[in-house]
Amino acid sequence: AQSVTQLDSQVPVFEEAPVELRCNYSSSVSVYLFWYVQYPNQGLQLLLKYLSGSTLVKGINGFEAEFNKSQTSFHLRKPSVHISDTAEYFCAVSDDGNAGKSTFGDGTTLTVKP
């Protein structure tokens, strides 16, 4: 069985500051990891994914995430946030290659203040 824990439900940050959204997972087999962003009144859209290879994954909008197998973590980072990054962010894990069957975390609300 797989599970995902997003360690922070809310993260407030000032514009142009760096941010890290934390995600820990558990799985008994190989994992595939995803970060999605959800803007108000919209569906989720993929930010980035880790399948294999380099543990540092770059995504859209300047986000990146690092896969750490020993710590079973996949934290999302951005060096300088914008007001437009205000949204909810979801970490997800899949163990069978079907992204639609991923287990999703409870989400982290990122609020960027001016």
Partner 1 sequence: DAGVIQSPRHEVTEMGQEVTLRCKPISGHDYLFWYRQTMMRGLELLIYFNNNVPIDDSGMPEDRFSAKMPNASFSTLKIQPSEPRDSAVYFCASSLAKRNSPLHFGNGTRLTVT
Residues forming the site for partner 1 (CB under 8 A): 32, 34, 36, 41-46, 49, 51, 90, 94, 97-102, 104-107
Contact 22, 33 (CB under 8 A): no
Residue 90 half-sphere exposure toward CB, CA atoms < 13 A: 16
Q: How far is the CB of 62 from partner 1 (least distance, A)?
A: 18
Q: How far is the CB of 41 from partner 1 (least distance, A)?
A: 7
Q: How far apart are CA 78 and CA 80, in angstroms?
A: 6
Amino acid occupying residue 105: G
Q: How far is the CB of 54 from partner 1 (least distance, A)?
A: 15
CA dihedral 54, 56, 59, 64 (to 10 degrees): 180
Which residue lies nearer to partner 1 by CB, 52 or 114? Answer: 52
Which residue lies nearer to partner 1 by CB, 72 or 109? Answer: 109
Which residue lies nearer to partner 1 by CB, 66 or 95? Answer: 95
